[in-house]
Each structure stands twice: as C-alpha cells, then as structure tokens.
Structure 1
Amino acid sequence: MDYQIREIKKSEYPILSDFLYEAIFIPEGMNRPPKSIINRPELQVYTADFGKPDDYCLVAETKEKVVGAVWARIMDDYGHIDDATPSLSISLYKEYRHSGIGTALMEAMLRLLRENGYRQVSLSVQKENYAVGMYKKAGFQVVRENQDEYIMVCRLQ
C-alpha cells in the first residue's frame, strides 16, 4: 500500500479526536462506546489544546486521505511516568490496520522524539490489545501493570 508519513498540519488538529476514538481498544464481543466518550476529562487530556511546544504528531496519508496518526505530549494520562516523559497515542482506521503503517508511524515518532532530545516515551495499553506485540518489537518494556493494562516505556537514548 502506498502511503506517506508527514507532520500533521495545524488545520488537521481536529482529526485527532477521530483517532482518539479509534485508539479505544474494544475487546472481542464488546460493543463500541458512543463517540461522546472522548469528551470525558480523562480522555480529553490526549487532544485538548493540541499544538503546544511539547506536542508532536505524525500522520499517515494515502490517496490524500489521513488514515492514521501517532502523537505524543507530556500529560497526566494513563501512561504517565513523569513530567519529562511524553505519552504516546497511536491509531489507524480499522481498514488500514495490519498493513505495516502503524509500525512505520511508531518508528517515525520514536526518531522524532529522539531527535528532539527526549530520553524516553511511555504509553498505556490494554493487556488484551494485539498492539502489545508491536510495542514490544519497537522497544517498549512493561514498567508497571494493573489488572487490565500495561504501562510501557521505550528508552530513546
């Protein structure tokens, strides 16, 4: 599949809400929650006021359509480690998953964060999520866990 990875344009910031919704892991047999779930304060930290100096976002585009996004920002979210470590979010529209785009987006973001002097990046992922394997291949390691989630960190330096 032909695609390109590029920085998000300011005019595209609103699509982060779509990708935030797409990032919600739905276990098999469960119904998708209503899209309004992304308006909850604990989820709004991922996208609200995006565009600050420590906010980074790359998108994957194919045929002039953005089909995936990876973004990182320092925030007090589920994967929070400390105030110097950005938390990472990534998602693709369902029909573009399992095609290598997510891995390419992840690798590009890790490079970008490394180039900008970050020492590590964190994320939170449901234990049942197939993406756990991708994160481990990218160099993420479990540093904490609870009943449902892993908190993972990738060292960049």
Structure 2
Amino acid sequence: MPSSFRIRPAAQADGAFLGDMVVEAANWRQGGQRPRHEVIGHPEYHRYITGWMRPGDAGVIALDAQEQPIGAAWYRILPRTDPGFGYVATGVPELIVGVRPIWRAHGVGRALLQRLCEIARSQGHARISLSVERGNYAQTLYRTEGFAVTQAGHGRDTMVKRLR
C-alpha cells in the first residue's frame, strides 16, 4: 500500500515525466490502454508537453518516500489558435493531472490539484480550466475542489474553477 508522499515544484527537466503523466491521464480507464507513443504523438496530447517549460507554464510533482515521481499536475496557457481540450479563453491556464495507478485514491491528485491552484492564484490568474472525460472518477475530485462544468462536449466536459 502506498505510504507518504511530498510535492515539489516542477522543473524543465521534468518534461519526460510529464509525458508519462499525460499517458496516465489519457489511460484512466481500466483495460483499453493506449500505447505511450500513440498518446504522446497525438497532437491533442502533444500540446500539453511540447517545449516544456515555456513562459506561463507551471507545475508540481509528487514524489514517494524514495523520491520517485508518482504524479504531476501542471498548466499551460494555450493560444486560441491551438486550444486544448479544456480551453475556455485567452489567458486562462488549462491544467492536466496524472497519477500512477497504484497511487490513485490516496490523496495525491487532490494535493497536486490544490497546490497547483495556489500557484495559479499567486500568479494572478482568476480562473483555471480542465477537461475530463465523462465517467472518469476524477470528476468527483474536481467538483469537490470547486470546479464546475461550463461546457459539455463529445464525451467530455470542460470544468472551470474561480481562483479569486
């Protein structure tokens, strides 16, 4: 059973791990796992990690007791010309959360999400957005952390949290 973890700021060197976490986020369902190269190579996912860490990017990494990365949450400010799944407006950061399966339902995602929202607020952002596929158990987490559905799409919802 997973034990304790800690959270540290994400660095430029964490780009490859963020790629792993995009794969975890995309493969939230049991079974039906999409291979890493397929997820990372897909433009809809690639935009979340390419060129990490750009101006405006921010993130946090969860580490286990052995200092191994177990989860991440980060955001990017994507342009209207290349929006992400959860794009709502120019200048609104869009976040992504990924946690290794063995660490899910142990508070890692919630801790990462809370810390990232604190960072976004401290950087002057009024809102933060995300996209979640319908049926993903993380929807409950997002709702309890103050996110509300603002747009319903094809099998996924865009959720926004007001930060101030």
TM range, smaller chain: over 0.9
**In the TM superposition, what whole-angstrom CA distance separates every residue of 1:90-139 from its partner, at most 9, and x where no partner exists?**
01000000001110110000001000000000011011100000000010
Q: RMSD in angstroms over aligned alpha carbons?
A: 1.2
C-alpha displacement at 1:25, in angstroms?
4.0
Q: Which amino acid aligns with 2:140?
A: G
**Match for residue 56 of structure 2 among 28, 48, 54:** 54
Match of 2:34 in 1: 33
User: Does the alignment pair 1:111 with 2:118?
Assistant: yes
Match of 1:122 among 98, 116, 129: 129
Are the aligned partners of 2:11 and 2:53 in contact in 1 as well (CA < 8 Å)? no
Q: TM-score, normalised by structure 2?
A: 0.91
Q: Distance in 1 between matches of 2:18 and 2:60?
A: 11
Partner Cα distance (1:32, 1:14) in 2:
19
Task: Name the TM-score, length of structure 1 as normaliser.
Answer: 0.95
Measure, in 2, the Cα distance between the counterparts of 1:146 and 1:140: 16
Q: Aligned AA for 1:6?
A: R
Aligned partners of 1:25 and 1:126 also within 8 Å? no
Q: Does 1:132 align with 2:134?
A: no
**Paired residues of 1:25 and 1:129 also in contact (CA < 8 A):** no
Aligned length, in residue pairs = 156
How far does the alpha carbon of each residue in 1:58-85 deviate from its partner, in whole angstroms, 9 at most, with x for none? 0000111010000001111010011110
What are the within-5 Å matches in structure 2 for residues 2-151 of structure 1? 2-28=4-30, 30-37=31-38, 38-62=40-64, 63-75=66-78, 76-151=83-158
The change in CA–CA distance for 1:68 and 1:26 in structure 2 (over 3 A counts) is closer
User: Would the aligned equivalents of 1:74 and 1:86 in 2 still touch at CA under 8 Å?
Assistant: yes
Aligned-pair identity in percent equals 29
Whole-angstrom CA distance in 1 between matches of 2:27 and 2:15: 22
Where does structure 1 differ by over 6 angstroms across 4 or more consecutive aligned residues? none
CA contact (8 A) 1:57 1:71 kept: yes
Which structure 1 segments of 5+ residues have no match? none
SS of residue matched to 1:64: coil
